Amino acid sequence: MRLKKIKLTKLSWKLALLYASVFAAVLLVLNASVLYGVKFFLINQAEQKVDSVSSAVEKRIIGSNSEQMTFDDPEMINEARNDNTLNIKVADPSGKVVNTSDNFNTSGLPMTDHINTARKLESGKLKLVVKNTAVINGGKVRAYVQVSQNMEKEYTFLRILFILLAIADMFGILFSLFSGYLLSRRMLKPIDKMTKAANEIGLSGLAERIEVPLVDDELSRLAKTFNEMLDRIKATFDKQGRFVADASHELRTPVSIIQGYIGMMDRWGKQDEKVLQESIDAIKKETLSMTVMIERLLFLARGDNGSQVLQKATFSIDDLMEEVSMESLMLTAGHNFSFQGSQGLELFADRRMIKQMLRALLNNSIKFTPNGGRVTLLYTGNENKVVFSILDTGIGIPEEEQEQIFERFYRVDKARVRETGGSGLGLSVVKWIVDVHNGEINIISSVENGTSVAVTLPRL
C-alpha cells in the first residue's frame, strides 16, 4: 500500500516537471525574442538619430560660404549641447580634430574609417553607436564629421529588463512546477482510489466497485471498464457456483435412492428374491443415469475451461445417419420413426460430437413424445451448410420456456423428472457443440402439438 502511494506521488512529480520544463522552454524563447527585439529597436533608433544629426552637421558645413568653410563654428555642434548622450566631432581633411562637443571621451575613435555607415562599437567602457561622414564639396573631401550616441542608458534598460524577466520566469517556473504537481495529483487521485478499491475487492468478495468519476475522460472510462470486467467475472463466478451447487444437488438424489435400496436389500433382500431384484434394477438405473450425468458434467466442464479438444474431419452424413437411426430404433419400439435426407452429403466437423448432439435431440423427442407418436429426422444441405431437423409430435415446450431449456439443469416439468429421467444437461451439451461448430439452433414448439429443432452447421 505504502509503496503504491510513493509511486503515484512520483508520477505527479514527473508530470509536474514535464509541464514546468515545457513552460520554461516557452518562456526562454519568448523572453529571448523580447530582449532581442527591444535591443534591435533601441539600436535602430540610435542609428536613425546619428544619421539625422550627421546630415544636419554636414548641411551646415556645406551651407556656409563654400569658398571659405569654417569648421570651428560652435553653432555647428549645437545639438550636442542640449543632449549630453550625443558627441559631435569635426575634423579637417587631414584628420585633425577642429571642433568637438567633448560630451564624453571618444578620442580613441578614428574618424576616417567606415565612412557613411552607422555602427555599434565599444570605446573603453562606453557602448556607442557611431557614424563617420566625409563632407565632400566640389569633388574634394572638405571635412570629416563623427557623431556618436552613448548607449549606456539603453543598455542599463536592457539589463534591468533582463533581470526583471529572469525573476518573473523563475517565479513562473516555480509556480508551474507547484501547480502542475497539485493538478496532476488531483487528476491522478481516481487512480489512487482505484488502487484502493482493487485492493479491497479480494477481501470483500467481488461485490466492491470502483467509484466512476463524473467527468467523462480516460480515467472514468478506465473505472467503467474495470467495473464491467468485475461484473463479468462475478457473473461467471456466480454461474460456476450455481453449477457446482446444482450438480451436487442433482447427484444427491440418485445417491440417496441407491442408499435406500441398499438398506432395503440389507433388511429384506436376503430372504425376498423380489425385493432383491427390484433393488438391483433400481440401483442399475440410478447408476446409469448418474454415469450419463457425470459424463455430461465433465463434458461441460472441459468445454468451460477450454480443454475440450475438437477432432474435425470430413465424414459422410449418410453413414452417420445409419448409425444414429439404428441406435434410436433400439431405444423404443413405441414410436414411428422416419429418417430422410439428401444422399451423398459430407460434413467437416467432429463426428463424435455431432453424433452425440443428434442422439441427445432424438432422445428428447422420444422421451417427450408418448408412444404411438411420430419422430422424424430430416437432413438437407447445400455447398455452404447442412441442416438437421428433428421433429416430433410430443408434448411440446411452452413458448416462455423455450429460451431457458438450454440452461444447465433446466427442465420444464420438474415433477415428471423421475419418470422421464435426465438431468437437464442434454441441451446444454447440444448448445455447446453447435456453438463450437459455429452453427445455429432453432426451436419451434407448441404445447400438445410437438416440437421441431433445427440445427444449421456450416459445411467447413
Ligand X SMILES: Nc1ncnc2c1ncn2[C@@H]1O[C@H](COP(=O)(O)OP(=O)(O)O)[C@@H](O)[C@H]1O
Residues that bind ligand X (CB under 6 A): 360, 364-365, 368, 392, 394-397, 405, 410-413, 422-427, 451
Q: How far is the CB of 249 from ligand X (least distance, A)?
A: 15
Q: How far is the CB of 286 from ligand X (least distance, A)?
A: 15
Identity of the residue, 381 or 422, whose beta carbon is nearer to ligand X in the bound complex: 422
Q: Residue holding cell 459430407?
A: 346
Q: Residue holding cell 535591443?
A: 39
Residue type present at position 450: G
Residue type present at position 298: L
The closest alpha carbon to 85, from 161, 171, 7, 148, belongs to: 148
Q: How far is the CB of 368 from Mg ion (least distance, A)?
A: 9
Identity of the residue, 431 or 437, whose beta carbon is nearer to Mg ion in the bound complex: 431
Only segment of 44-52, 249-257, 390-398, 425-433 that touches Mg ion (CB under 5 A): 425-433
Residue 412 binds: one of Mg ion, ligand X, none (C-beta under 5 to 8 A by kind): ligand X
CA-based radius of gyration for the chain: 52
Q: Which residues contact 62 (CB under 8 A, 6 or more apart)?
A: 69, 135, 137, 142
Residue 452 binds: one of Mg ion, ligand X, none (C-beta under 5 to 8 A by kind): none
CA 123, 126, 131: angle at the middle one, nearest 5?
65
Q: How far is the CB of 405 from ligand X (least distance, A)?
A: 4
Q: Residue holding cell 413405441?
A: 334
Residue whose C-beta lies closest to Mg ion: 426
Q: Are 23 and 173 in contact (CB under 8 A)?
A: yes
Q: Residue holding cell 529571448?
A: 32
| Total chain residues near Mg ion (CB under 5 A) | 3
C-alpha cell at 30: 519568448
Q: How far is the CB of 349 from ligand X (least distance, A)?
A: 21
DSSP 269: I
Residue type present at position 295: E
Q: How far is the CB of 365 from Mg ion (least distance, A)?
A: 9
Beta bridge partners of 369: none
Identity of the residue, 407 or 440, whose beta carbon is nearer to ligand X in the bound complex: 407
Sign of the CA dihedral running 202, 203, 207, 211: negative
Quickly count: other Cβ atoms within 10 Å of residue 78's Cβ.
Answer: 14
C-alpha cell at 213: 468519476
Identity of the residue, 359 or 459, whose beta carbon is nearer to ligand X in the bound complex: 359
Q: Are 393 and 358 in contact (CB under 8 A)?
A: no
Residue 151 binds: one of ligand X, Mg ion, none (C-beta under 5 to 8 A by kind): none
Q: Is residue 328 a contact residue for Mg ion (CB under 5 A)? A: no
Identity of the residue, 129 or 453, whose beta carbon is nearer to Mg ion in the bound complex: 453
- Cα–Cα distance list, 359 to 43, 53, 389 (Å): 101, 115, 12
Identity of the residue, 16 or 390, whose beta carbon is nearer to ligand X in the bound complex: 390
Q: How far is the CB of 450 from Mg ion (least distance, A)?
A: 16
Site map 333..372 versus Mg ion, x via CB under 5 A: -------------------------------x--------
Residue 201 binds: one of ligand X, Mg ion, none (C-beta under 5 to 8 A by kind): none
Only segment of 45-53, 99-107, 162-170, 424-432 that touches Mg ion (CB under 5 A): 424-432
Q: How far is the CB of 301 from Mg ion (least distance, A)?
A: 18
Identity of the residue, 54 or 423, whose beta carbon is nearer to ligand X in the bound complex: 423
CA dihedral 196, 197, 201, 205 (to 10 degrees): 130
Sign of the CA dihedral running 415, 418, 420, 424: positive
Identity of the residue, 219 or 366, whose beta carbon is nearer to ligand X in the bound complex: 366
Residue 269 binds: one of ligand X, Mg ion, none (C-beta under 5 to 8 A by kind): none
Q: Is residue 423 a contact residue for Mg ion (CB under 5 A)? A: no
DSSP 369: S
What is the Cα–Cα distance from 118 to 54, expressed in whole angstroms?
Answer: 10
Identity of the residue, 341 or 426, whose beta carbon is nearer to ligand X in the bound complex: 426
The residues of the shown chain that bind Mg ion, judged by CB under 5 A, are 364, 422, 426
